[in-house]
């Protein structure tokens, strides 16, 4: 249910600057009991050491919306080096944005120094390439100009993320009318949308992700330039695109995000060959395969079951892989195994230009695809070897997915049913099932019989 985040709207607002509204403890729902103990430790140590420190962004936003935050980010006027001196469990990361990670086992609290404006930075800072750098398209390549909390708020992307909670006096500081936008269920960029998207094109993806995650609408002004600026995503490093893929497709909102990405013409910058295939009539099952795989992933996540991006990659790229295999079969004389690996390497080489898929996930994708061919070979001991494969379950789930969609392919449907029965049968029944499988026709050309040597040749050889 949508509810107003002001709990005491009649109370008078205090101002700490001409740009911020301060909500006292009786005016908001943010409480320390909703904040991780480790985040509170970091806030308290920074404050007790003489620095200003605030819980900022999504942590504040989600608590106001009644959502349990997954991350607790902190903003402070302490520099990364000063933060490091306070925490032995601190490591400094990042070149583009210099950040401090305070590590508590598996829990990591991210601490950022207040950002400043590039046009107000000192001449010395502007001249230092390590402090600030922009690309020819306006994208920020380095952004280590430090400033005040007011400047930091203006540098944040969306109004609903420009909210700061102080553990010192329990106030919430609203710099961009973010409280009102939360109440209005609106995603709105701070500043000129085109300029902000050029600074960081990933903000286009974040706008969609926040809208679907929080069940909000993107404001008209914020969404207007997205389609025209979509090509800027081609400049984003593949490793960062992989991170964004995980956030969009492994958060329980994969299907709706997929539809939104296609609507705003952004999906092609994740999967160029797949978007091209979706726009053609050659792959009648492709859209349904992707949608079903994404829907199944959402169901698993929302039921607290494990998921892997490898399965989604395998589903999304399956039909482009099959097309590549058919092309190679028509133009080469390679063996089926060589054809598969050649097609696999071509597809993955092209895909890696957009998303840097880690090798550990590539290996799982390859296993899922190879198992599709192994499922067809069930004679002798092959069925038992396939059943013992470490990725059998993922491959089998993918086989079921294919059979469900390609229900007109009776052989594929029968094959999926055979494996369903086989894995749940006892050993004797399994033996009977294997014997009932027709032996596959050999794909190898028959060996030519060697002609016997002529007697004359043998005689001459003997004489010699």
DSSP 8-state code for residue 161: G
Q: What separation in angstroms does the CA of 50 have from each of 43, 82, 83, 237, 305?
A: 11, 11, 12, 38, 44
Contact (Cβ atoms closer than 8 angstroms) between residue 181 and residue 188:
yes
From 73, 152, 200, 367, active-site residue: 73
Closest CA to 368 of 342, 340, 346: 340
- Kindly report the number of other CB atoms within 10 A of residue 252's CB atom: 18
From 62, 143, 152, 157, active-site residue: 157
Hey, is 21 helix, strand or coil?
A: strand
For the chain, the straight-line distance linking the first and the last C-alpha, in angstroms and rounded, comes to 101
Q: Is 73 a catalytic residue?
A: yes
Contacts (Cβ under 8 Å, ≥6 apart) of 291: 255, 258
Q: Is 397 a catalytic residue?
A: no
Closest CA to 430 of 439, 440, 420, 416: 420
Contact (Cβ atoms closer than 8 angstroms) between residue 354 and residue 269:
yes
d(CA 8, CA 17) in angstroms, rounded, equals: 21
- Kindly report the number of other CB atoms within 10 A of residue 459's CB atom: 10
Closest CA to 142 of 162, 122, 115: 115
Q: Is 421 a catalytic residue?
A: no
How many CA atoms are closer than 13 Å to the CA of 106, on its beta-carbon side? Answer: 1
Q: Is 257 exposed, middle or buried (0-12, 13-18, 19+ CB in 10 A)?
A: buried
Q: What separation in angstroms does the CA of 90 have from each of 54, 101, 109, 142, 376?
A: 18, 6, 9, 21, 53
- Kindly report the number of other CB atoms within 10 A of residue 343's CB atom: 22
Contact (Cβ atoms closer than 8 angstroms) between residue 399 and residue 372:
yes
Closest CA to 207 of 256, 163, 157: 157
Catalytic annotation, residues: 71, 73, 157
């Amino acid at each position: 249910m949508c509810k107003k985040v002001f709990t005491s709207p009649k109370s008078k607002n205090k101002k700490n600057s001409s740009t911020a509204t301060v909500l006292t403890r009786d005016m908001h729902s943010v409480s320390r009991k909703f904040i991780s103990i480790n985040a509170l430790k970091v806030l308290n140590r920074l404050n007790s050491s003489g620095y200003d420190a605030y819980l900022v962004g999504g942590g504040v936003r989600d608590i106001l919306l009644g959502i349990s935050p997954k991350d607790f980010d902190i903003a402070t006027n302490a520099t990364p080096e000063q933060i490091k001196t306070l925490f032995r469990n601190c490591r400094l990361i990042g070149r583009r944005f210099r950040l401090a990670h305070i590590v508590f086992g598996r829990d990591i609290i991210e601490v950022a120094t207040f950002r400043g404006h590039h046009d107000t930075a000192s001449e010395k800072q502007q001249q230092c390439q390590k402090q600030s750098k922009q690309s020819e398209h306006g994208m920020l390549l380095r952004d280590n100009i430090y400033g005040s909390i007011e400047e930091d708020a203006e540098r944040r992307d969306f109004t609903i993320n420009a909210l700061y909670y102080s553990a010192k006096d329990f106030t919430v500081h609203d710099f961009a009318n973010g409280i009102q936008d939360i109440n209005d269920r609106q995603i709105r960029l701070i500043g000129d949308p085109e300029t902000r998207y050029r600074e960081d094109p990933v903000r286009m993806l974040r706008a969609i992700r926040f809208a679907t995650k929080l069940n909000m609408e993107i404001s008209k002004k914020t969404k207007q330039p997205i389609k025209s600026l979509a090509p800027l995503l081609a400049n984003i490093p593949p490793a960062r695109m992989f991170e964004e893929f995980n956030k969009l497709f492994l958060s329980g909102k994969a299907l709706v995000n997929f539809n939104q990405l296609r609507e705003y013409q952004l999906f092609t910058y994740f999967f160029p060959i797949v978007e091209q295939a979706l726009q053609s009539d050659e792959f009648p099952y492709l859209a349904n395969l992707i949608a079903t795989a994404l829907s199944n992933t959402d169901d698993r996540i929302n039921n607290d079951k494990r998921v892997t991006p490898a399965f989604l990659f395998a589903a999304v790229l399956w039909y482009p892989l099959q097309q590549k295999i058919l092309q190679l079969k028509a133009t080469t004389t390679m063996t089926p195994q060589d054809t598969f690996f050649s097609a696999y390497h071509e597809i993955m080489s092209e895909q890696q230009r957009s998303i840097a898929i880690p090798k550990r996930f590539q290996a799982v994708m390859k296993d899922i695809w190879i198992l599709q061919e192994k499922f067809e070979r069930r004679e002798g001991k092959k069925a038992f070897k396939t059943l013992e494969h470490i990725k059998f379950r993922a491959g089998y789930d993918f086989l079921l997915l294919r059979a469900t969609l390609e229900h007109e392919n009776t052989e594929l449907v029968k094959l999926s049913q055979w494996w369903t029965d086989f894995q749940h049968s006892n050993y004797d029944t399994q033996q009977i099932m294997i014997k009932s499988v027709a032996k596959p026709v050999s794909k190898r050309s028959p060996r030519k019989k060697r002609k016997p040597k002529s007697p004359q040749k043998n005689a001459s050889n003997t004489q010699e």
